[in-house]
Amino acid sequence: MAAKRTALLFLLLFCAGALAEDVNTTLLLGPGVVVLSKPYAGKHATVYPYPVSLFIYDRFYIAIDTVGYRLLASQRGLPEPGQTYWYFDAIGKWRSDGYDSDDSDELDGMHNRHQTFDVGGEFGVSGDWGSITTSLVSDALGVDNGQEVRVVYSKPFKNPFDVNNLKISPSVGLAWQSDNLVDYYYGVRNDEARSGRPAYDPGQAVNWLWGFDANYRLNDSWTLMTGFTYYWLDNDIRHSPIVSRNYSISIIAGVMYKF
């Protein structure tokens, strides 16, 4: 599934490159790596290559794993200091949850749980005080048939620690997930139950999250970027027989070249 996700992103980026000759286009693209530490019992962290990108073409954009289109906004461009800016986007993004039954002995006998693609909307408000984003997405591929509502506050800091060209944006928030979504990724069906692994049907969940994004501009062409997110999982997830940790972690890092 990771290969399918990477292939689709490359397809989108290929289309982006075809449009990049337009004077209103911004394109940053380069190699990166993703580290995922999922909470499933016996499953080790996975590391795989991933293209990191930022592509903007008028109202359309691709940012790492998110595709979006700006439907409404309070103004064009970024706000001036002291101003408040709001927007509403249509978005689509990959959901990287899931596992294969051969990922660990503890998952033997479970059916595979696949990654999927969510679509929905995102509303954001930002100013000198930071930004608040609220998104609602739903499974578009009929994999988990679930929904998620996420609310995140972030505050960017430019040139922290007196380091020029460095920007760090810490964030904190929560993600509500529907019972369909939670049951698909963390439940145990009757035909999957074994000795020591009873059937389990969790309900909806609220997961807390915190993390940061950072980028450092080496020069006019090259930028280093990284992102880290820590998810503190709801009790209904932590009590699942196939879960051994109360958290999950995602990390992405890479270098981008501005075309």
Report whether 64 contacts 53 (CB < 8 A): yes
- In a 10 Å sphere around its CB, with 0-12 CB exposed, 13-18 middle and 19+ buried, how is residue 254 labelled? buried
What 3-state class would DSSP assign to 50? Answer: strand
Q: Where are the alpha helices (DSSP H) in 99-248?
A: 179-186, 235-238
Q: What is the CATH number of the domain that holds 92?
A: 2.40.230
Q: How far apart are CA 231 and CA 48, in angstroms?
A: 20
Greatest CA separation for the chain: 63
Q: What are the φ and ψ backbone dihedral angles of 162, each rounded to 5 degrees? A: 60, 30
Taking only the tens place, the pLDDT of each residue in 117-174 is: 999 999 999 999 999 999 999 999 999 999 999 999 999 999 999 999 999 999 999 9
Taking only the tens place, the pLDDT of each residue in 205-251 is: 999 999 999 999 999 999 999 999 999 999 999 999 999 999 999 99
In this structure, what token pair is assigned to residue 103? 């990922």
Q: Dihedral sign, CA of 127, 131, 136, 137?
A: positive
Residue 214: name the closest of 160, 167, 163, 164 by CA: 167
Residues facing 34 on adjacent strands: 48, 252
Q: How many helices (H) and strands (E) does the chain have?
A: 3, 13
**Residues spanned by the domain of 171:** 2-258
Taking only the tens place, the pLDDT of each residue in 103-127 is: 999 999 999 999 999 999 999 999 9
What is the mean predicted confidence (pLDDT) over 1-16?
A: 48
DSSP code, position 145: -
Report whether 219 contacts 238 (CB < 8 A): no
Domains identified in the chain, total number: 1
Confidence of residue 25 (pLDDT cuts 50, 70, 90): confident
